[in-house]
A and B are shown apart, each in its own frame.
Chain A
Amino acid sequence: MTVGLFIPCYIDQFYPNAAIATLTLLKKLGVDVVYPTKQTCCGQPMANSGFEHLTQGCNDLFIENFSEFDYVVSPSGSCVLHIKDHLHAEKAEDKALGIRKKIYELTEFLTDVLKVEKLTASFPHKVGVHQSCHGQRGLMLAQMTELVEAPFSKPLHLLNMVQGLELIDLKRPDECCGFGGTFCVAEEAVSVKMGKDRVADHLNGGAEYITAADMSCLMHMEGILRRQNSNVKVIHIAEILNAQEF
């Protein structure tokens, strides 16, 4: 099994540690991982702004980079959801459909494909888990509080395997952080207020770290935490699952 590693543009540019942790973790679990170096972006920022018709360049590039792999894995629920829902190519629709079926967000790949039941990770800290909406409600990484269905959570299933990690309780376990792509600047006031409220919930719960399967939500909350001169840090879930802190 060969996995193509898809690292979203903003993780590549701003959060390389999340990408390095993803790669290291997959290798540690015995996966043959390849990072196609000509990749850029899934096209979501344009599509969510109403410019899906401008994403063909991104789509073609994505197909060129990833169609050969058995699986495509990415440490971002939001970007994965975009590809799953919207990857098209008139000239190569079968390849596009193929990728849509074989692309996985990291925690769902670990849980559903690799069926990981044990990790040798240790992270002795109080951690708040932010359920990123696209991962949770789009990819169904975890049960949603709105639905009357049995509970489950792929990220929590994995985090529970990490030694020393203490999960904190939140008042609103799956409320949006307000990042929302271009929403964060187009609707600046509401976006910031949503972010502040989400951060406050974690701070009240006593979190030392806020983690998520999506770096974009964390980037937003980090911006707010740092503006508040808070000591609380954000960390991508891959970095925790790969951590060796004792």
Chain B
Amino acid sequence: MSTGAKDHAQLSDIFNKDEARVDWHDETLWFVRAKRDKAAHSLPEWETLRETASQIKDNVLSNLHEYLLQFEANAEKNGIKVHWAANGEEHNKIVHSILKENGVNRIVKSKSMLTEECHLNDYLHKNDIEVIDTDLGERIVQLAEEPPSHIVLPCIHKKKEEIGELFHKHLGTLEGASDPVYLTAAARDHLREKFITRKAAITGVNFAVAETGEFVVCTNEGNADMGAHLADVHIACMGIEKLLPLRKHLSVFLRILTRSATGQPITTYSSHFKKPRPGQTMHIVLVDNGRTTQLGRKDFRNSLKCIRCAACMNTCPVYRRSGGHSYHTAIAGPIGSILAPNLDMKNYADLPFASTLCGSCSNVCPVKINIHEQLYKWRQVIVKEGYADPKKALAMKAMDFTLSNPTIYKFAGKAGRFVLKHAPFTVNNKLNLWYKHREMPEPPKQSFGEWYKQNNKND
């Protein structure tokens, strides 16, 4: 999903060329944040739920090894075949080999951010296997040949008119039609045919229960169920952090997931898959792909508590005004910015800096990940590992030199104010990024320090 050399600042600069669209994107996601607030505020026990969820996940991360083995044993007992993948490539190969064994070359897939993270679609496509994403939003971005821009609302960056155009081109809907009911009905017909004819279905996993070996998939469209129930082969792909110790823990997580995500009390479908129906085979692929590395990073391990609700994206003032694609990674927004550097620090060195550290993300996080503190900490790691812009490093050293010495500081301050007053053109030009859309502060006659010296001679 990397967009080459462009970083978040450059990509969001492009996104901001169309200000009306930025306003629309911001308002659309703010609407979702407002729905989340309403849902949260309707539960007086909300903060207790967050704390409970956080502690359950802390326990999972501290005992991941045991829970994974317990889950594997119970799932196999239920008749599910369990596979282990160390990374994305292994995951893709495992999925491919299962499909090959079953002689399948056309499949349906319901939404799974893990398969996005592993670039499964590309891999299968290269191996002549057709993948149809069945989540409506995912199908739209798939037709547009774009990655999702949001983990819960994959095509939130697209207007209904643009979707109408896409459907006209690919599904033969009427030209210029943009009525959501009409377009949804067309998508429904299109997808029904796929569900009925495809022999294998891939789903993601929202929660896997160690105690019972079952897993839960949450959707609003029922597409995961439709795919899995009609297919002979069901492959569920999950990151190893998706575990919950006990089934009763779902009573916490199912209550916070969708309230945080969209403001709904619960998803329309919370489907429990425990064993294959007669004649069906069911597989689970457990994927590490950097998760154990992250687990070993003391400051960043609790990012693995994430349940992919996207509340941090909806509340993030930067995300809302830069769009998901500006993060050039499968998982955008604040959580993506603390997950991505773990996988590739060089390519994602820009992401922890794509934040004002306002802290709203940490406040909405249903499992209390200290996202903004981790953004700060990633910045330190990225600079120490040598991925900072050398010009910035030089500027910072100069700043340290000036600010560590009161005499130099006073001189520099005076000189700066003198320049602003008497030679503003040296500052007010296009080289100064502040000045592009903002006036510089008006330099006062004297600094506070100078004023104090003059007015407090007796001190």
Contacts and interface: CB of A to CB of B under 8 A. Distances in A.
A152 interface: no
A13 interface: yes
Nearest to A215: B441
Given A35-B456, A146-B360, A187-B353, A223 B44 contact: no
Nearest to B388: A50
A12 interface: yes
A31 interface: no
B12, B358, B416, B417 — most chain A CB neighbours (10 Å): B358
A53, A138, A187, A219 — most chain B CB neighbours (10 Å): A187
B404 A57 contact: yes
A28 interface: no
Ranked 3 nearest A-B pairs via Cβ: A57-B404, A223-B438, A180-B356
A39 B406 contact: yes
Contact of B409 (A41, A45, A47, A55): A41
B46 interface: yes
Interface string B442-456: 011011110111001
Main secondary structure on chain B at its contact with chain A?
A: helix
Contact of B416 (A13, A188, A220): A13
Main secondary structure on chain A at its contact with chain B?
A: helix
Contacts, number: 213
Contacts of A45: 399
B69 interface: no
Interface residues of B, number: 75
Interface stretch (B115-123, B267-275, B314-322): B314-322
Contacts of B46: 148
A193 B16 contact: yes
A20 B459 CA distance: 15
Interface residues of A, number: 76
Contacts of B443: 14
Nearest to A49: B396
A176 to B, nearest CB: 4
Contacts of A12: 413, 447-449
B8 to A, nearest CB: 7
Interface in A32-81: 34-35, 37-41, 43, 45-55, 57-58, 60-61
B9 interface: yes
A7, A16, A19, A134 — most chain B CB neighbours (10 Å): A16
